[in-house]
């Protein structure tokens, strides 16, 4: 059994990691840290876990975590992982970071969106953990920058089309809608029940930090600069993310062409589900799962492709993909611990 | 006091008309019809109204309604109003129809989206009731086709820009999100609580019947064919509609230019509120009101304008705008009965 | 026009006062204070109010408020009003306090539930503002302790029955369910969207501070000690409170007897609506209104009465009742400003 | 591998059975029937299951189901199972019925709450499937009447106390609150999104059909007639049920006594979790699980015990308990297939 540790276990992404790893057949969940809840049983913070998880949260120290775990997940706000990861890597631990700190190979992009980077030397070797696309690099990586939830929902549907030249690269728009858990467990008026319930709104239109992240990956895949127009919105529900992508087709491609492109790219990729003709992805269908559902349609009058993707922002958009990456790194079945049967509603 | 009647008073749009007209200072709400609830007190169907409305629903007959009312609202599913309206007009009543039946001057567009039209001769004189834009024609109209909720949320932000040539007309995309009340009170699995709650999805992408409606109006205003790519989505909340519009600017216009365009178009139009810089429209801010809030942003990398609009789909998107049109038709203050102070949450 | 001021205008109860008073025909809303938002326009905190309220929040000072207002609402957390009210009363202002500070004539009860009271001398003259019951005393009061939301929902259905001896006083249980707005706008994990959504739970069972408040009033009305067993619960919705009361009948009374008791007590009281037989109160039917809906049923096998009441916790449970009290104090129609037509949904 | 079949697989309880049985390590899910969806793939009705369940729904026939399955779950509306079960039992199948048809040994109670019973002879041998309490009888039963959701939430906390004489039997009140999924997938205005959302109400107070069911079981356990006053309420959420029980203690028992009673009754019962002092059950903590969380408090002034229980109405209240019963019947570990790690939120 590989021992896994979670640094920052009591945020929503951390807690979702606890859920998945506690049920993982090949993993021993061995250490949880939490600054806010050090000394407190994890199941006191998340009482649903009573009877499932009996660990006590501990204060982080690199020694503690390295002693107790073979592979380490960082579920911390950005800026903290860049201080923590180097200590863990030095002790030959493998690290999967769920923040933005190690998603960019180019420090300048990170720094323009976030703040100065204190571990720039690690960036050249970090691997962007979009599991379906970069599994080869993930397999041998020691440090994974786990993708953001929005980029995951945008990149999985776009990369196959972009690589094969189906799209006018200047035309890409991503209109995303996220459940409130994406904002985390930290208190904020924007997650206060009465301000979110019965409310729908956009935020950070064309200035969200996940925009440079998706642009970076798409530009790499396209071999030229891609600048997506990206607008995220907040949906009054706990989990789920739907992204509606609009892009002009580079030629009058048909539904069949698009379908073929997805089918061959994602053949043998169990977590990408293509919706049969006519059905549209729905966040309810992926709630609590690691699936990314993809559907599409062509507006023939404008030769514009509409692609929809649905994920659970906490699973495929965070903890689930992180575990999928761990599975790949450890040579386990990619789906290990990630295939519990979905709820019907 | 002008006497107003509502045909189809127990659907959600009808009931919202009841709410507004029952509180209108210049109107006597005089007759309500309902097929399903004929003979039943209205406040038994909507108990919130107990003490406010003491009318009994009646079976529709043209004689009954024309005897009792001077102006008549039709809140029926499309196809029924085209049979009813001619009878009412013949008796010199003024009619405001909330369905699609009288929104199109060109029967062929209607017929390709809906079904054969049995009152084609009325179409040349019907007026599209987008209050802020067509008030002159509304003033003297006898038959108003009250706009659909989605078109209202798309047209109010687009028309000023299109009329003044700010946009590349081939580039327009409208990504709309609606609360569930837009689907009405008729039972359907798509409005069944457990199928909607914690769910977010698109439906009828690029094939919704409101698409030809918005195209028709925009084409008229632009003086050339406009084909919007339109994708509606369903939000797990009762009321509210947010539309995110994407369009390439015809030149590198600045925020100030766009703001000026809106300011002068909507000066003196009390129901359009421009969001101050940085704030984004939120359906919660217009819940229960007749406002349309508009905000915007430019993605400078792509020279693409992002415009957001928020309305209450049952008010500005249906009953509120219908009453606003009535006010204009009757020479009342446009805001009469429509300015109750909004709820903070 | 009487000038009204609100101290603490940006909490939920304060903002609801703003909504009601801004639309009140006989009142000029003249001053708003807020510690957190001093210097900020009120409609920036609550953008729904844009176009309706153009006041700027100010820092509280007794001089400022007394200069600008004739009657003053305190919408502050308990403990603050006991410091503020004496300053205002000294200047001959009339004060309606929405906190618990002036609900108790007996300081010792207050102090055992809250903390030491620094304005004990005022308590003998404060009037408990349960409008339907204590209107005579309210009329001439200078200081009103506006009832808590839970007590309002418990007392309105219980007092008539208790006064007329219908109930076994030892048998009374109140099981209340409140929307989340009752917890206010202050940030707390218990109002964090993802912790409340899809959650239902009790809290402070048999130890909520509103328990001694309802006991005090019931004991006074009964002429003997009454100790209600009270358990509040949290419902994943914004507004609304439903209370289910259980009490053994003192004799085998029939539905008709109970109905008669309510009918004669609440005859001429426009805000109490008795549900016709068979219908049960629903928070949706009172949302945004000052109504208290009451329904009841007898479990004949146990001779136990079940009474249900529904209010909007922010209106009849807070701001609406405060304005109702103001109307009574000023000799206005009790319903002035409080009768906007309710929403159907 | 035991083969399991589900008759009525596309209702919510049926679909939840599919979820659990498809993931059960010792079961092959072998046949699904559905009248409405015969011939349709199950994952077309519940697209979340795509990739997990590839069965096609079939029209029911006793031969078909008996050929294909060893143990059969009936997830049908009451009245249908009494026609179906005899055919299956005749072929020596073991049957677990989720409706009310086989919950009563005394046909007259059933008939006064439902309708005439056409399989009365089976009632003497049917076993009430409250797993923790009747496991001995369940082990050897051929026909299980799986408990209703409300009775499960009421009986698990009450039976231990009643058996040991802690309660005044005339004093018991159960105030239950259920998520909307309890009303099933059949269309009804009472499950229509806009009528439920932001609404909280009671229904069928003191006349719900689950009342005689809980009374029957409690009377049996008490050895004398028990008549609970039972009021169910509807919560605007999908899953979850919380019951608040009030009962006068037969003597001034202390918290410790009650805790001891529960501890020894439920020792070794993995699905009953006693909340540590001070914490209260929350439906969010049992969402998607087979747990029943129990908490309690004493209102010492009235010597009244308050017990709270939380279950997921579709799991411990329906499909989960049915599978637990199957596990017991088949001699499997009681928890097989039922212990996936709960979600943190």
User: Nearest CA to CA, how far is D134 from chain A (Å)?
Assistant: 23
Catalytic (active site) residue D57: no
- Closest Cα in chain A to C238: A194
Please report the pLDDT score of residue B278 as a whole number. Answer: 77
Give pLDDT tens digits for A99-138.
999 999 999 999 999 999 999 999 999 999 999 999 999 9
**Chains in contact with D, where contact requires at least 3 CB pairs less than 8 Å apart:** A, B, C
Residue-by-residue DSSP string for A32-100: EE-STTTTSBHHHHSGGGTTT---B-B---HHHHHHH-SEEEE---TTSHHHHHHHHHHTT-EEEE-SS
- Closest Cα in chain A to C179: A194
- Whether A193 sits inside 8 A of C198 (CB atoms) is no
- Closest Cα in chain B to D234: B193
Contacts of B238 in chain D (CB under 8 A): 193-194, 197-198
Q: How many CB atoms are closer than 10 A to CB D118?
A: 12
Contacts of C173 in chain D (CB under 8 A): 173, 246, 304
Contact criterion met (CB below 8 Å) for A288 and A315: yes
- Whether A195 sits inside 8 A of B284 (CB atoms) is yes
Closest CB to C231 among D199, D227, D244: D244
Contact criterion met (CB below 8 Å) for B32 and B5: yes
**CA pair distance B181, C241, nearest whole angstrom:** 23
Closest CA to A242 of A284, A272, A270, A209: A284
Which residues of chain C have a Cβ shorter than 8 Å from any chain A Cβ? 12, 180-181, 185, 187-189, 191-194, 196-198, 236-238
* Numbered ranges of CATH 3.30.360.10 in chain B: 149-313
- Whether C193 sits inside 8 A of A189 (CB atoms) is no
Please report the pLDDT score of residue C264 as a whole number. Answer: 96
**CA pair distance C105, C125, nearest whole angstrom:** 8
Residue-by-residue DSSP string for A258-311: HHHHHHHHHTT-TTEEEPPTT---BHHHHTTS--EEEEEEEETTTTEEEEEEEE
Q: Which among A66, A149, A261, A292 is annotated as catalytic?
A: A149
Please report the pLDDT score of residue D276 as a whole number. Answer: 87
- Whether D198 sits inside 8 A of B238 (CB atoms) is yes
Give pLDDT tens digits for B184-218.
999 999 999 999 999 999 999 999 999 999 999 99
Closest CB to C238 among D173, D198, D283: D198
CATH of domain D2-125: 3.40.50.720
**Chains in contact with A, where contact requires at least 3 CB pairs less than 8 Å apart:** B, C, D
**CA pair distance A153, A315, nearest whole angstrom:** 12
**CA pair distance C216, C221, nearest whole angstrom:** 9
Please report the pLDDT score of residue A276 as a whole number. Answer: 87
Closest CA to D50 of D22, D12, D9, D11: D22
User: Nearest CA to CA, how far is D41 from chain A (Å)?
Assistant: 13
- Whether A235 sits inside 8 A of B238 (CB atoms) is no
Local confidence band at A278 (pLDDT 50, 70, 90 cut-offs): confident
- E strand spans, A152-286: 173-178, 201-202, 229-234, 241-248, 272-274
Q: Which among B57, B149, B261, B292 is annotated as catalytic?
A: B149
Closest CB to C187 among A192, A197, A236: A192
Dihedral of the alpha carbons of C291, C292, C293, C296, in degrees to the nearest 10: -170
Contacts of D169 in chain C (CB under 8 A): none
- This complex has an ipTM of 0.97
Which residues of chain B have a Cβ shorter than 8 Å from any chain A Cβ? 170, 173, 175, 177, 179, 194-195, 197-203, 205-206, 227, 229, 231, 233, 235-240, 242, 244, 246, 280-284, 287, 297-299, 301-302, 304, 306, 308, 310, 345
Contacts of D170 in chain C (CB under 8 A): 302
Local confidence band at A72 (pLDDT 50, 70, 90 cut-offs): very high
Closest CB to A342 among D52, D279, D342: D52
Give pLDDT tens digits for C28-50.
999 999 999 999 999 999 999 99
User: Nearest CA to CA, how far is D220 from chain A (Å)?
Assistant: 32
Please report the pLDDT score of residue D153 as a whole number. Answer: 98
- Whether B282 sits inside 8 A of A201 (CB atoms) is yes
Please report the pLDDT score of residue A28 as a whole number. Answer: 98
Give pLDDT tens digits for A282-319.
999 999 999 999 999 999 999 999 999 999 999 999 99
Element spanning A137, H or E: helix A135-140
Interface test with D, best of A48, A50, A200, A270 (most D CBs within 10 A): A48
Reduce the secondary structure of A18-49 to three states and give it as a string.
HHHHHCCCCEEEEEEECCCCCCCEHHHHCHHH
Q: Which among C149, C194, C275, C292 is annotated as catalytic?
A: C149
- Whether A229 sits inside 8 A of B306 (CB atoms) is yes
The token pair at C294 is 């009451």
* Numbered ranges of CATH 3.40.50.720 in chain D: 2-125
CATH of domain B149-313: 3.30.360.10
Local confidence band at C152 (pLDDT 50, 70, 90 cut-offs): very high
pLDDT at B345 over 90: yes
Please report the pLDDT score of residue D42 as a whole number. Answer: 98
Please give the C-alpha separations between residue B5 and each of B55, B83, B318, C342, in angstroms, as whole numbers: 11, 17, 16, 19
CB pairs under 8 A between C and D: 141
- Closest Cα in chain B to D194: B238
- Burial class from Cβ neighbours inside 10 Å (0-12, 13-18, 19+) for residue B56 reads middle
- Closest Cα in chain C to D171: C302
- Whether A175 sits inside 8 A of B175 (CB atoms) is yes
Contact criterion met (CB below 8 Å) for D194 and B12: yes
- Whether C185 sits inside 8 A of A194 (CB atoms) is yes
Please report the pLDDT score of residue D234 as a whole number. Answer: 98
**CA pair distance B160, D17, nearest whole angstrom:** 55
Please report the pLDDT score of residue A259 as a whole number. Answer: 97
Q: Which among D57, D66, D149, D261 is annotated as catalytic?
A: D149
Helices (H), D227-303: 255-266, 283-286
Which residues of chain D have a Cβ shorter than 8 Å from any chain C Cβ? 170, 173, 175, 177, 179, 194-195, 197-203, 205-206, 227, 229, 231, 233, 235-240, 242, 244, 246, 280-284, 287, 297-299, 301-302, 304, 306, 308, 310, 345
- Whether D231 sits inside 8 A of C244 (CB atoms) is yes
Please report the pLDDT score of residue D278 as a whole number. Answer: 77
Q: What is the pTM of this model?
A: 0.98
Average pLDDT for B48-67? 98
- Whether C200 sits inside 8 A of D177 (CB atoms) is yes
- Whether A194 sits inside 8 A of C187 (CB atoms) is no
Helix then strand then coil, % of chain D, to nearest 5: 35, 20, 45
- Closest Cα in chain D to B238: D194
Contacts of C302 in chain D (CB under 8 A): 170, 227, 229
**CA pair distance B69, A272, nearest whole angstrom:** 59
**Chains in contact with B, where contact requires at least 3 CB pairs less than 8 Å apart:** A, C, D
CB pairs under 8 A between A and D: 95
Average pLDDT for C279-286? 96
Query: pLDDT tens digits for chain D (345 residues)?
Result: 999 999 999 999 999 999 999 999 999 999 999 999 999 999 999 999 999 999 999 999 999 999 999 999 999 999 999 999 999 999 999 999 999 999 999 999 999 999 999 999 999 999 999 999 999 999 999 999 999 999 999 999 999 999 999 999 999 999 999 999 999 999 999 999 999 999 999 999 999 999 999 999 999 999 999 999 999 999 999 999 999 999 999 999 999 999 999 999 999 999 999 998 779 999 999 999 999 999 999 999 999 999 999 999 999 999 999 999 999 999 999 999 999 999 999
Interface test with B, best of D10, D11, D194, D201 (most B CBs within 10 A): D194
**CA pair distance D133, D321, nearest whole angstrom:** 12
């Amino acid at each position: 059994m590989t021992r896994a540790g979670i640094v920052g276990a009591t945020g929503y992404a951390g807690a979702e990691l606890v859920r998945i790893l506690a049920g993982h057949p090949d993993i021993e969940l061995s250490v949880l840290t939490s600054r806010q809840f050090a000394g407190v049983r994890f199941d006191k913070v998340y009482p649903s876990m009573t009877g499932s998880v009996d660990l006590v949260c501990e204060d982080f120290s690199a020694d503690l975590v390295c002693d107790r775990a073979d592979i380490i997940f960082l579920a911390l706000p950005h800026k903290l992982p860049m201080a923590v990861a180097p200590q863990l890597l030095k002790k030959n631990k493998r690290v999967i970071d769920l923040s933005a700190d190690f998603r960019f190979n180019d420090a300048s992009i990170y720094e323009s969106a976030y703040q100065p980077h204190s571990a720039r030397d690690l960036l050249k070797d970090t691997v962007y953990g979009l599991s379906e696309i970069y599994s080869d690099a993930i397999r041998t990586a020691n440090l994974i920058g786990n993708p953001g939830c929005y980029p995951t929902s945008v990149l999985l549907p776009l990369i196959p089309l972009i690589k094969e030249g189906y799209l006018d690269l200047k035309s890409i728009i991503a209109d995303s809608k996220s459940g409130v858990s994406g904002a985390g467990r930290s208190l904020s008026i924007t997650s206060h029940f009465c301000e979110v319930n019965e409310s729908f709104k956009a935020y950070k239109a064309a200035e969200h930090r996940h925009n440079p992240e998706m642009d970076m990956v798409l530009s790499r895949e396209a071999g030229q600069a891609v600048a997506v127009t990206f607008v995220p919105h907040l949906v009054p529900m706990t989990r789920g993310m739907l992204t509606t992508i609009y892009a002009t087709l580079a030629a009058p491609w048909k539904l069949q062409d698009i379908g073929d492109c997805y089918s061959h790219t994602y053949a043998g990729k169990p977590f990408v589900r293509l919706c049969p003709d006519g059905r549209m992805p729905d966040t309810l269908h992926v709630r609590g799962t690691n699936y990314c559902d993809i559907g599409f349609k062509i507006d023939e009058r404008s030769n514009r492709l509409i692609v929809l993707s649905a994920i659970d922002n906490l699973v495929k958009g965070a903890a689930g993909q992180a575990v999928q990456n761990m599975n790949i790194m450890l040579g386990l079945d990619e789906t290990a611990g990630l295939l519990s049967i979905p709820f019907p509603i």
